[in-house]
Structure 1
Amino acid sequence: MAIQVGDSIPSATFKVKTDSGLDDVSTEDLFSGKKVVLFALPGAYTPTCSAKHLPGFITNADAIKAKGVDTIACLSVNDAFVMGSWGKEQGADGSVLMLADGNGDFSKAIGLDFDASGFGMGTRSQRYAMIVEDGKVTTLNVEQPGAFEVSSAEAVMAAL
């Protein structure tokens, strides 16, 4: 069963590529006592993710943070090196935290994973955006397969 509004974020650890190597970021560190926008997408470097989803949050980062958001985080079932490189190429440094859910453990734990084996991509995250306040989901917008509407930066700003 997928996570719902009002549910707590489960305990998990993400990897983040930094200039000094790889860092672990726990859900407790990321969400406790903070207001966070977490958006997820099927894959780094994929067409919609690269042309619309991540760029929308980078462009609107200041406006989103002006609404009281502490962190904007992008999650994908990719490794931290891929997420780090993609974030650098997209200009995400300083505006969007690039989280690697390398084995898809978090995506599975919240019930928002899907089988993309037919595309040669294995298990991936569904496309969604959520607002999390002090570890509790207050808004959850999950896209229908192939769609890009309710998880956009603009939709998140309207929900804030």
Structure 2
Amino acid sequence: MIKVNDKIPAGELQQLTSDGMNNLSTDYLFADKKVVIFAVPGAFTPTCSEAHLPGYVVNFDKFKAKGVDRVICVSVNDAFVMSAWGKSQNAENILMLGDGDATFTKSLGLDMDTASFGGVRSQRYAMVVDHSVVTHINVEQPGKFEVSDADTMLALL
């Protein structure tokens, strides 16, 4: 599993925009930037929609004030689902990125098999990444939502 002082592995995530599908490299997303990235097990799921993503939406300006260049939400869903979820949550300032085949999530060592829930998904986590290097990482225990929320990550900055 990725840990503090590790470099984000090379890879791509997908974003759907009004101009179509974009494949965004990890170099583009993280190089020369301070980024908060958080992942959820699934878009439109209860904890993810009621608490996790909304906390980052509401606190986006606080992250910017602390020098964060981007806030990224990732899920093992396709970019179409991530775009629709972002719109439903008024997450216009959050980069809503799909990891449809879980390649990025697996490269971090943060994948989990949820079997009947949806197969391979991401563990719930949040990281601070400074110039492609992880400076903080909080991974939730299964079924918990205690350390990857926006307020906890703000306190680490």
Pairwise TM-score range, normalised by the shorter structure = over 0.9
Displacement of 1:21: 1.0
Distance 1:99 1:83 in 2: 6
Residue aligned with 1:37, SS: strand
Distance 1:141 1:14 in 2: 21
Displacement of 1:73: 0.2
Q: Identify the residue that residue 61 of structure 2 maps to in structure 1.
A: 62
Q: Identify the residue that residue 154 of structure 2 maps to in structure 1.
A: 157
Q: Note the residue ranges of structure 1 that are not aligned, 5 or more in a row.
A: none
Distance 2:98 2:62 in 1: 25
Q: C-alpha deviations, 1:67-117, integer Å up to 9, x for none?
A: 000000000000000000000010011x10001011000110110000011
Which letter does structure 1 place at the counterpart of 2:109?
G
Q: Identify the residue that residue 27 of structure 2 maps to in structure 1.
A: 28
Distance 2:6 2:64 in 1: 23
Distance 1:144 1:20 in 2: 38
Distance 1:76 1:132 in 2: 17
- Residue number among 96, 102, 116 corresponding to 1:98 in the alignment: 96
Q: Identify the residue that residue 127 of structure 1 maps to in structure 2.
A: 124
Task: Say how many residue pairs are matched.
Answer: 157
Q: Note the residue ranges of structure 2 that are not aligned, 5 or more in a row.
A: none
Which letter does structure 2 place at the counterpart of 1:127?
R
TM-score, normalisation: structure 2: 0.99
1:138 matched to 2:140: no
Displacement of 1:118: 3.2
Distance 1:54 1:83 in 2: 11
TM-score, normalisation: structure 1: 0.97
Which letter does structure 2 place at the counterpart of 1:109?
S
Which letter does structure 2 place at the counterpart of 1:159?
L
Distance 2:124 2:60 in 1: 19
Superposition misfits of 4+ residues, deviation over 3 angstroms: none
Displacement of 1:20: 1.4
Distance 2:90 2:36 in 1: 18
Identity %: 55
Which letter does structure 2 place at the counterpart of 1:90?
Q
Residue aligned with 1:64, SS: helix
Which letter does structure 1 place at the counterpart of 2:24?
V
